[in-house]
Amino acid sequence: MAKSKSAFVCQSCGNVTPRWQGRCESCGAWNSIIEDGGVAGIGAQAARGAKKGRIFTLGELAHADAPQRRLETGIGELDRVTGGGFVPGSVLLLGGEPGIGKSTLLIQACAALARRGERVVYISGEEAMDQVRLRATRLGLASAPVELAAETGVEDIVATLSHGARPALVVIDSIQTMWTDAVESSPGTVTQVRGSAQALIRFAKTTGAVVILVGHVTKDGQIAGPRVVEHMVDAVVSFEGEGGRDFRILRAVKNRFGPTDEIGVFEMTGGGLNEVANPSALFLTAHDEVTPGVAVFAGMEGTRPLLVEIQALVAPTSLGTPRRAVVGWDTSRLAMVVAVLEAHAGLKLGQHDIYLTIAGGLRVSEPAADLAAAAALVSSLSGQSLPPHAVYFGEVGLSGAVRPVAHAAARLKEAAKLGFMSAVAPRGAQAAAESGGDPMKLSACEHIGALVAEIAKPRPSSAPKQQQRVEERRTR
């Protein structure tokens, strides 16, 4: 019998090294490498069990049966994120912070499918079956014919699921608690997580069942365990939200069968998660109010247009180094916009503290938010409020030019549907506005200097009455 070799595995990224070292060369983590004697055993066992297979050609597969339709849960926001429903035989990895609502969402999805006659199995490795039943009772789903089990052994799970009818959906909560006999290490380690995930993925591909793996997250918000698991599964979905807010955002980070960066918005209530049909109204305040430093951005999240409010505050600083505080946007992107405003628009922001936030807690990553952020900054600095029924979108280049962005027609259509009457956008959006047929007044902006001149021009009617009285006293 061949002697099993010990290897050293990084617990952060799963990189395997022949000897121990203090710092991982792959991810740079310190003191994350431990000795694991089960890595070599997996390869030896696979080699002993190898058998001859068959290779097919595209012509042979062209006459095969068409793939089955997607498995729709009936929860519109969840089906949107997955690309129209679950693909039979696919494996999804769902991550989120503790208490964010992962188990609640999965219980609701399982109950919806089970009530339609599908076989659904919910396997919990962290909670007892009575605890899962109590959650379902609180949500009013106790009557749903969902099969429950509390097990952590992967071999026992696969053997049990193989009996009877093929399950349509299997939920594993969570993958960090699973363990397999093929690996000689403790549950939760990188090798065990990888081995357990591989066994469950093999079960999904051979039977056609949909498997959802629930994953823990680290302090940085990343799914815990080796990153190789994210490459093994078909879709990676993140469940996000803030503790002080009731809404939750389901975001597709990776999807082999649908668009990425797609989001679904839910609202957490006492009866579970409710779908939000109009997310733009959730992230917008009353846009009739005239307040300096507030701009409405017409953005895109996947294939969905979404209007969000960008709030900025520019105030003189008393410190040697001005402060830059950003919530929901890229800090380096804000620094670039500030530099462009100083270099090409003549603004003096070097002696001001800048605070910028995306209202509602949403995170915006697309470059089209540059123009809206710049408008909010200029409005706050000058004290001039922006038009209450206007939206902004466009990418700002280092030369100060405003570049066109994609999906202009969808952005303008969403803005018109919510009652906005004008838009400030790149010149390329003019054709989209004309073809869309929406009654939107489009102001083409080609350079950031034109935006600053338009916002900062004096408007006597918009100045506060108290400021007008102070100016009158000074002139006397």
pLDDT in tens, 361-401: 788 989 999 999 999 999 999 999 998 889 999 999 999 99
**pLDDT greater than 70 at residue 37:** no
What CA–CA distance (Å, rounded) separates 85 from 76? 9
pLDDT attached to residue 86: 95
Domain co-membership, 22 together with 80: no
pLDDT attached to residue 41: 45
pLDDT in tens, 435-469: 655 567 888 999 999 999 999 876 655 444 444 54
pLDDT attached to residue 108: 96
**pLDDT greater than 50 at residue 473:** no
Q: Which two three-digit tokens encode residue 81?
A: 């994120």
What CA–CA distance (Å, rounded) separates 292 from 309? 13
pLDDT attached to residue 33: 83
Domain co-membership, 108 together with 25: no
Query: 373 lies in which domain range?
Result: 282-468
List of residues 6+ apart from 28 with CB closer than 8 A: none
Domain co-membership, 134 together with 256: yes
Domain co-membership, 419 together with 293: yes
pLDDT attached to residue 107: 95
pLDDT attached to residue 40: 43
CA-based torsion, 185, 188, 191, 192: positive or negative: positive
What CA–CA distance (Å, rounded) separates 158 from 440? 57
Domain co-membership, 237 together with 322: no
What is the DSSP-derived secondary structure letter of residue 178?
Answer: -
In a domain, residue 121? The reply is yes
Look at 3-17, 368-382, 411-425 and tell me which has the smallest mean pLDDT.
Answer: 3-17
Biggest CA pair distance of the chain: 102
Contact 121, 167 (CB under 8 A): yes
What CA–CA distance (Å, rounded) separates 436 from 438? 6
Among 246, 277, 308, the domain boundary falls at: 277
Mean pLDDT score of the chain: 85
Mean pLDDT, residues 275-279: 85
Identify which has the larger pLDDT, 54 or 311: 311
In a domain, residue 62? The reply is no
Which of 440, 388, 387 lies closest to 411, judged by CA?
440
**pLDDT greater than 80 at residue 255:** yes
What CA–CA distance (Å, rounded) separates 329 from 335? 11
Among 250, 277, 304, the domain boundary falls at: 277
Look at 35-49, 61-75, 149-163 and tell me which has the smallest mean pLDDT.
Answer: 35-49
What CATH number does residue 188 fall under?
3.40.50.300
Domain co-membership, 225 together with 160: yes
pLDDT attached to residue 289: 61
pLDDT in tens, 232-242: 999 999 998 87
Domain co-membership, 160 together with 271: yes
pLDDT attached to residue 285: 65
Query: How far is residue 204 CA from its own chain's centroid?
Result: 25
Domain co-membership, 234 together with 370: no
In a domain, residue 437? The reply is yes
In a domain, residue 55? The reply is no
List of residues 6+ apart from 172 with CB closer than 8 A: 123, 125, 157, 178, 200, 211, 212, 213, 214
Backbone angles phi, psi at 305, to 5 degrees: -75, 140
Q: Which two three-digit tokens encode residue 412?
A: 């303008």
pLDDT attached to residue 286: 55
In a domain, residue 476? The reply is no
Q: Quickly state the pLDDT bin for 51 (edges 50, 70, 90).
A: low
Which of 376, 81, 113, 447 lies closest to 249, judged by CA?
81
Which of 423, 422, 339, 416 lies closest to 374, judged by CA?
339
Mean pLDDT, residues 123-150: 93
pLDDT attached to residue 62: 65
Contact 141, 273 (CB under 8 A): no
**pLDDT greater than 60 at residue 102:** yes
Q: Quickly state the pLDDT bin for 204 (edges 50, 70, 90).
A: very high
In a domain, residue 52? The reply is no
pLDDT attached to residue 476: 42
Q: Which two three-digit tokens encode residue 45?
A: 């066992």
Mean pLDDT, residues 336-363: 92
What CA–CA distance (Å, rounded) separates 138 from 283? 29
Identify which has the larger pLDDT, 36 or 263: 263
Domain co-membership, 449 together with 331: yes
**pLDDT greater than 70 at residue 324:** yes
What CA–CA distance (Å, rounded) separates 401 from 395? 8
Domain co-membership, 22 together with 134: no
List of residues 6+ apart from 306 with CB closer than 8 A: 263, 279, 280, 283, 299, 300, 362, 414
Paired strand residues for 93? 213, 236
Question: What string of DSSP letters covers 83-121?
Answer: TSSBPTT-EEEEEE-TTSSHHHHHHHHHHHHHTTT--EE
In a domain, residue 247? The reply is yes
Mean pLDDT, residues 285-306: 82
pLDDT attached to residue 78: 94
List of residues 6+ apart from 58 with CB closer than 8 A: none
Among 234, 252, 277, the domain boundary falls at: 277
What CATH number does residue 322 fall under?
3.30.230.10
Domain count of the fold of the chain: 3
Q: Quickly state the pLDDT bin for 284 (edges 50, 70, 90).
A: confident
SS3 40: helix
Contact 232, 197 (CB under 8 A): yes
Determine whether 268 is exposed, middle or buried from the number of CB atoms within 10 Å of its CB (0-12, 13-18, 19+).
middle
Domain co-membership, 209 together with 319: no
Mean pLDDT, residues 194-207: 94
Count CB atoms within 10 A of the CB of residue 412: 25
Domain co-membership, 295 together with 391: yes
In a domain, residue 351? The reply is yes
**pLDDT greater than 60 at residue 152:** yes
List of residues 6+ apart from 112 with CB closer than 8 A: 73, 74, 75
